[in-house]
Amino acid sequence: MKRTCLLLAFALGIAINGMAQDRPTHEIHAAMLYNFIKYVQWPNEADGGEFVVGVIGDEQVFNTLKAWYDGKPKGTKKYVIKKLSSADEANSCQVVYVGKSKNKDFENIKTSVNGKSILTITDGNGLGEKGSCINFKVVDGKLKFELNQATVSSSNLKVSTQLSSMAILI
């Protein structure tokens, strides 16, 4: 257990601190998003098929995720990275990343995914408190993330204690 926690801390630490020096923000967000997924459990995890990660509002994060992970295996599933053009499309995903340019649409996206096992990840001030499962936040010049435990629970998702121990809990 301690070893897993150390490995997670190391992986996220590299993504947050090490990559920050030589990597653009969209690559850091893509790497962290992928690492978040590893520490979340969905109710239908064992079923085959596609594991859809939808991206709305950030072309660079979409392109990076598509290049790095599209078609790769996730257990018995296969990653499919999908560009979303509307909030309504979000309900067909397992993960939805909302980039800064679509923060104003978050309420519509939240309504679209309400009651479904969908992990929402955002990059906007106050969106953690407004119901995003995970929200990127810069604190003292460092990239951190908020975890809204009530939203995760109501989405019927389970987050590992390793991930929640590294988060700013809401």
Q: Report the CATH number at residue 63.
A: 3.40.50
Q: Which residues contact 38 (CB under 8 A, 6 or more apart)?
A: none
Reported as a single tens digit per residue, the pLDDT across 65-78 is 999 999 999 989 99
Residue 85 lies in domain: 2-169
How far is the C-alpha of 24 from the C-alpha of 19, rounded, in Å? Answer: 8
In DSSP terms, which residues pair with 78 in a beta bridge? 50, 73
**Whole-structure pTM value:** 0.87
**Predicted local confidence at residue 2, as pLDDT:** 47
Mean pLDDT per block of 10 residues along the chain (170 residues) reads: 46 48 88 96 87 97 98 94 96 96 95 96 95 95 94 96 93
